[in-house]
A and B are shown apart, each in its own frame.
Chain A
Amino acid sequence: MRLNSFLIRHVALMFACKTFVAAVLALLAALWLDLPRPYWAMATVYITSQPLAGATSSKAVYRVLGTAIGAVATVAMVPNLVAAPELLCLAMALWIGLCLYLSLLDRQPRSYGFMLAGYTVALIGFPAVSDPGSIFDLALARVEEITLGILCATLVSTVLLPRSVAPAIAGRVESWLKDARRLARDVLVGNGSEHELSVQRLKLATDAAEIDALAGHLSYDRVADANTVRSLQLVRRHMIVLLPLLCSIADRIAALSSLRRTHAALESLLNRIAHWLTNDSFIKREPTDDLRHAIAELRPNLDADASWDQIVLANLLIRLRDLVDISSDCRALERAVAEGSDPTQVRLAFEPEAGVVPSRHRDHALALWSATGAAAAILLCCALWITTGWADGASAPMMAAVGCSFFAAQDDPAKGISSFGWWSLVAVIVVGIYLFAIIPAITDIEVLIAALAPTFLLYGVLIARPATSFIGMALAANTATLLALQSTYTAEFQSYANSSIAFLLGMAMAAVVTRLGRTVGAEWIAQRLMKTSWTTLAVTAERRGLNDRAAFAGLMLDRLGLLTQRIAAMDEADRSDVANLSQLRVGLNIIDLRRARRLLAPSTLEAIDDMLTVLAVAARNHAASGAMPGELLERIDLALARTVEEPAGKPREDALIGITGIRRGLFPHAAAYGGGPAGEGRLVA
């Protein structure tokens, strides 16, 4: 027990020690096997090691794959084109650009593999240009050393006091659900101002995106228990629907209270649910079925002359029932995680559509633009290198490739590249001290390891702390690479200075070209995301596009995660759209409506289709006009009037709910629906 608490308190130190052990293991093994560049293995350990085991192995798998593909590409390109250096540079730059493009589209652990396939070409190819005969040996050595480094990193991270990614995710999910319950209570009881609620919602959306990114590593985690992994995946599917649901509930309650139609029975029900949600003890909580029963009792009978507040109330009650179902499922799954039991035994009340592949936002134009920037930076460095005839200048395009690839996913890559460059300068100085002051006095490998230990342990601690992990990574990877530890001491000042200068020049070039090419920042990307979301909504309304409810929700939530990271850079109207998840909610309602409308009478169907067409046009024009046209509101009311006249039944109810949701989502400030067909609507018909 005491050991355990010690481990938890000193997680960073433990990680540093583990990584150093792995790095030394890799270095010794590489020296023993007589590999030409043992320091690659050592650097690899520092690049792939992550504090959580699952994250290390996912990175490891894709690093090996990417390196192998990149090595093959280099062996194919260099010997064939070495006679024409300009052509070779062009081919390599294009290849790296292509790989970067694919990697930016993917945004999952897999994307690391694409990126590595790209810049491995630069790492092997550029230094080998002067000696193309050795290219095969060099490529082979690189693959061998990377694999060796990864084996050591994975071995140590899974065997020596492993930290699985699953408990970390379980902890995050638990606290997320707790926050969500608190938000739900505030929404139901009416605590907190609108501003506070929207801050809470945004925090939940950001956290959900982070949990999603962590969970991407789950399937690579061999330390984690299979049951836990399955439970967590189920919980995540529930989490996706929970957030828009809470927004809808808040909106309906606001609508009812603005109509002054909140009666005592509803309020006591809301209080009961709020109490039930936040009560953590399993025994004292009200049975779920009682709540479901109470919800069903309140449900108004929607007939031909149903009023607007009755429709809204019915809508609210259905959402409340979903909330109760989802929340009880989440509790059950959380218990399954805690006990490690099989989640398939848990009976779930709420079943999101099965077989959903979570879809993700992809921005082809932006990915292509970044990729072009990387290719341009590499070509510029090549031009400088070839025209000046600088023999050691090969590091410049190499580092330009690495720098552009690493930071391309950020909003402002130039900032990341320059700070990486400055930290590389620190690494260059550290390496200089080692090479010319310390290592010459060392004759044994044991003493060498002891001499390296303090520096690399410090780097490990830096990597383990989230705030400094970037600095630690830059320092560790660059120190290990530039130190170029080999079986014999060969350091001379000349080659050290040359390669260091070229190294820094490459980073500088990458920063300059990126700064020139990427003038757009977070603001532009956020606007672009909003525009794409409106287009998706239009496509949904046009009755082609995504038919799958959960896939749509997944895609929109993925975008929402991207948007919340850039919330500071957005204007007020967009920000409130994001905070209310209005696009997501409207989209879900459109999908529900489209499902229900097939069973309605032809005239109603026509009214609904008309409305959806107008909606699609309005959504497409939203970016330009920034507001929804009044005509759409008329169409919605007309469709509502037609639907109310339908014979009672499930299709009519579903359609009513859907139209209400769309109306509230797009026109939250519009006056209440008149109840019954409006005079004008009847004339038009």
Chain B
Amino acid sequence: MKHEIDIFGVLVPSLLPWLVVAYGLLALLRAGLERTGFYRAVWHGALFDLSVFVCLLGGVVYLSVEYLS
């Protein structure tokens, strides 16, 4: 896996696009969970979001290493 990604000549850490992808997934997941009223059962909403985000990011990075490199 490369450590930097080249976007139109700009070298950014490869983590950055994955952060964006994971954030997008999180936003989708959140919207779904909010509709089902899941957040009423969560003690600390923001902490829960962050944890889910880390899991998603881990998954995205793992998949990217598996299939893209």
| Contact call B44/A501, Cβ cutoff below 8 A | no
CB-defined A-B contacts under 8 Å, sample of 21: A388-B13, A389-B3, A389-B13, A414-B46, A493-B8, A493-B10, A494-B10, A497-B8, A497-B10, A501-B16, A505-B16, A505-B19, A512-B46, A512-B50, A515-B46, A515-B49, A516-B44, A516-B46, A516-B47, A519-B44, A519-B46
Is the C-beta of B12 less than 8 angstroms from some C-beta in chain A?
yes
* Complex-state Cα separation, A390 to B12, whole angstroms: 7
Is the C-beta of A498 less than 8 angstroms from some C-beta in chain B?
yes
In the assembled complex, how far is the CB of residue B52 from the closest CB belonging to chain A, in whole angstroms? 12
| Contact call B8/A501, Cβ cutoff below 8 A | no
| Contact call B44/A494, Cβ cutoff below 8 A | no
* Binary CB contact string for chain A from 505 to 532 against chain B (1 if under 8 A, 0 otherwise): 1000000100110010000000000000
In the assembled complex, how far is the CB of residue B46 from the closest CB belonging to chain A, in whole angstroms? 4
* Complex-state Cα separation, A232 to B46, whole angstroms: 46
| Contact call A388/B46, Cβ cutoff below 8 A | no
Residues B36-61 near A (CB distance < 8 A): 44, 46-47, 49-50
A contact set with B: CB distance below 8 Å: 388-390, 414, 493-494, 497-498, 501, 505, 512, 515-516, 519
Contact among B7, B13, B15, B50 for A516, CB-based, below 8 A = B50
| Contact call B9/A493, Cβ cutoff below 8 A | yes
What is the size category of the interface that chain B forms with chain A?
Answer: 10 to 19
In the assembled complex, how far is the CB of residue A404 from the closest CB belonging to chain B, in whole angstroms? 15
Which residues of chain A are within 8 angstroms of B9 by Cβ–Cβ distance?
Answer: 493-494
* Complex-state Cα separation, A591 to B34, whole angstroms: 52
Which residues of chain B are within 8 angstroms of A512 by Cβ–Cβ distance?
Answer: 46, 50
* Complex-state Cα separation, A50 to B13, whole angstroms: 40
| Contact call B13/A390, Cβ cutoff below 8 A | yes
* Complex-state Cα separation, A519 to B10, whole angstroms: 38
Contact among A493, A501, A519 for B12, CB-based, below 8 A = A501
* Complex-state Cα separation, A423 to B11, whole angstroms: 25
* Complex-state Cα separation, A519 to B48, whole angstroms: 12
7 more contacts with CB within 8 A, not counting A516-B44, A519-B44, are A390-B12, A493-B9, A493-B10, A494-B11, A497-B7, A497-B12, A505-B19
| Contact call B7/A388, Cβ cutoff below 8 A | no
| Contact call B10/A388, Cβ cutoff below 8 A | no
* Complex-state Cα separation, A515 to B45, whole angstroms: 9
| Contact call B15/A388, Cβ cutoff below 8 A | yes
* Complex-state Cα separation, A497 to B15, whole angstroms: 16
In the assembled complex, how far is the CB of residue A395 from the closest CB belonging to chain B, in whole angstroms? 13
Most buried by A among B11, B46, B49, B50: B46
* Complex-state Cα separation, A516 to B49, whole angstroms: 9
* Binary CB contact string for chain B from 1 to 34 against chain A (1 if under 8 A, 0 otherwise): 0010001111111011001000000000000000
Which residues of chain A are within 8 angstroms of B11 by Cβ–Cβ distance?
Answer: 494
Which residues of chain A are within 8 angstroms of B7 by Cβ–Cβ distance?
Answer: 497
In the assembled complex, how far is the CB of residue B18 from the closest CB belonging to chain A, in whole angstroms? 12
Closest 3 CB pairs of A and B: A515-B46, A388-B13, A497-B10
Which residues of chain A are within 8 angstroms of B8 by Cβ–Cβ distance?
Answer: 493, 497
* Complex-state Cα separation, A501 to B19, whole angstroms: 12
* Complex-state Cα separation, A515 to B8, whole angstroms: 34
Which residues of chain B are within 8 angstroms of A388 by Cβ–Cβ distance?
Answer: 13, 15
Which residues of chain A are within 8 angstroms of B19 by Cβ–Cβ distance?
Answer: 505
Which residues of chain B are within 8 angstroms of A501 by Cβ–Cβ distance?
Answer: 12, 16
In the assembled complex, how far is the CB of residue B8 from the closest CB belonging to chain A, in whole angstroms? 6
Most buried by A among B10, B19, B44: B10
In the assembled complex, how far is the CB of residue B56 from the closest CB belonging to chain A, in whole angstroms? 14
Which residues of chain A are within 8 angstroms of B50 by Cβ–Cβ distance?
Answer: 512, 516
In the assembled complex, how far is the CB of residue A174 from the closest CB belonging to chain B, in whole angstroms? 45
* Complex-state Cα separation, A519 to B44, whole angstroms: 8
* Complex-state Cα separation, A522 to B47, whole angstroms: 19
Which residues of chain A are within 8 angstroms of B46 by Cβ–Cβ distance?
Answer: 414, 512, 515-516, 519
Select from chain B the residue with minimum beta-carbon distance to A495: B10
Most buried by A among B7, B12, B15, B50: B12
* Complex-state Cα separation, A493 to B12, whole angstroms: 13
| Contact call B12/A498, Cβ cutoff below 8 A | yes
Which residues of chain A are within 8 angstroms of B15 by Cβ–Cβ distance?
Answer: 388
Which residues of chain B are within 8 angstroms of A389 by Cβ–Cβ distance?
Answer: 3, 13
Which residues of chain A are within 8 angstroms of B3 by Cβ–Cβ distance?
Answer: 389
* Complex-state Cα separation, A21 to B10, whole angstroms: 36
* Complex-state Cα separation, A505 to B3, whole angstroms: 18
